[in-house]
A and B are shown apart, each in its own frame.
Chain A
Amino acid sequence: MPKRLAAIVSVGLSKFGRREGLYARELFAEASLECFESCDNLRPRQDIQALYVGQMCESYEHQAHIAPLMLDWAGLRHIPAVRVENACSSSGSALQCGIMAIMSGMYDVVMVGGVEKMTHLSTEKNVEYLAMGSDFEFEQRNGMTFPALYALMAVAHMQKYGTTEEQMAMVAVKNHKNGTLNRKAHMQKEITLEEALSSKPVAWPLKLYDCSLITDGASCMILTRPSLAKKFTDRPVYVIGSGQANDTLNLFEREEITGIHAAQLAAKEAYKMAGTKPSDIDVAEVHDCFTITEIMAYEDLGFCKKGAGGKLIEAGETALDGRIPVNPSGGLKSKGHPVGATGVAQACEIFYQLSGSAGKRQVPDAETGLTLNIGGSGATAVVNIYSKR
């Protein structure tokens, strides 16, 4: 049996979507309340000893120093609170900080989470703020946007492996279908392959339906020492492997642009720590900021061989009833991508799946799950592996 690193005993998610009239802190309070109320034995004020909270960009609400703010609005006070920023993997990294805090023995119970409020600003402002996760001097100033960075990877992947725009659109169709089963999802609407393929271009070959959503949302969870888990819940989920790797902030200097090397390294580390292999994974939430990102994730995580990601989606193997269901929550594509909240939101879905509380989108008998959270164009990747045992 692998070593349990930490136990997840409760999770909370705000509704994801266009949350007009609310601030980030109010969304975080919504997620916190759900997390606290679904854990009868948790006394938040007495039990929680630290907070690690992910947020990408303080420009959205002109607000830095959000850790004490989120702590306050979650009804907590005085305990150490730290904001973690790693672009779109901010809360994936915050989660890893929480795991390390528990493993160090310093704390018995910590809260991790993430938040981003985005939809109150224009598309141009969003493009600009999101691009801050790339190299300002050598990418942004020279015309690069995030869709463009992933489009560069997509074209290279198409060129080398014959991946098609249709295969990328299939990822969107699958994730939108899964999202209809998730009442927290931003866009609970099925789309057709034709709609996806004929949607307007954003950064060719990526079209509107290849892109994840600009979304408001917050996520959080409570971590504790494995030996204390049963004090809080009968159905804890254990983190059994955790890996993070990084790469050059810019895309252009990376040796490989048909995959995300940091994701390959993070996965290798997490699999090794957990004593698992790709075929042991029953369900995965992966970073589908763009459809090509999910296709590359299949390969980087070892769900198929290098270059075969397009064929994997085409064969339906990653559908909810497939061999390895990927993004049952609807993913960033349909559940939405409030960037700072995404990493922990992925882990929330794996908690639902492994504790048997995923409702209509439940993957039967799921025992082992995986999350892959990516920051920027792949400069950061965090992989966690979870077990119900």
Chain B
Amino acid sequence: MANQPEETDIFQRDPRGKILPTIENFYRFCRQKKLMGVKCRRCGAVSVLPRTICSKCQSVKMGWIKLKGTGRLLSYSIVHVSTAEYQAQTPYVVGIVELEEGARLSGVVRDVKHEDLKVGLNLVVDFENSNSEEWPRWPRYFFRVSDSPKMT
């Protein structure tokens, strides 16, 4: 697969060399199997989305933090009708996860028996590279039950 310039592993940095809070950089971290978020240095709010302006206090003092990637399921659904891209996976589970640091993220929950689904289930984030031929070819994050055997 041809490398496209916008999807290289080279981080976008500011003139002093610091990794900029951007969505592309978030996915570059995902490629390294790291779930990164941003934390406001003024009010302490944490968000997974790499915002440059804090959504709580509008400060621009946002810096990367590494998230543990563990959290609990707040709500879930079993998707039977999907886009063409996800059709091979149906029925699949999606959920909203509250991470340990307080920030939230939603995504696919893999390797969970439907009868085991319940609010409060402990989950852990994992990553896989995209095999898409088209933009965007960034990796994807997903969740699995934290004590389930890791599949590759």
A residues bordering B, Cβ < 8 Å? Answer: 123-124, 127-128, 131, 137-145, 147-148, 151-156, 159, 200-206, 248, 250-253, 257
Contacts and interface: CB of A to CB of B under 8 A. Distances in A.
Contacts of B140: 141-142
Given A142-B142, A201-B91, 13 more contacts: A124-B84, A127-B81, A128-B83, A141-B136, A144-B106, A148-B94, A152-B77, A153-B75, A156-B75, A203-B77, A204-B77, A253-B103, A253-B104
Contact of B79 (A143, A200, A248): A143
Nearest to A258: B75
B92 A152 contact: no
Interface residues of B, number: 37
A153 B142 CA distance: 20
A151 B81 contact: no
Interface of B: 23, 47-49, 55, 74-87, 89, 91-92, 94-97, 103-108, 119, 136, 140-142
Contacts of B82: 124, 127, 143, 145
Contacts, number: 105
B74 A156 contact: yes
A148 B92 CA distance: 11
23 contacts: A124-B82, A124-B83, A124-B87, A128-B85, A141-B136, A141-B140, A143-B107, A143-B108, A145-B83, A147-B79, A147-B81, A152-B106, A155-B75, A155-B77, A201-B91, A203-B77, A203-B78, A203-B80, A204-B78, A250-B106, A251-B96, A253-B103, A257-B74
A147 B91 CA distance: 13
A153 B74 CA distance: 10
A138 B86 contact: no
A138 B105 contact: yes
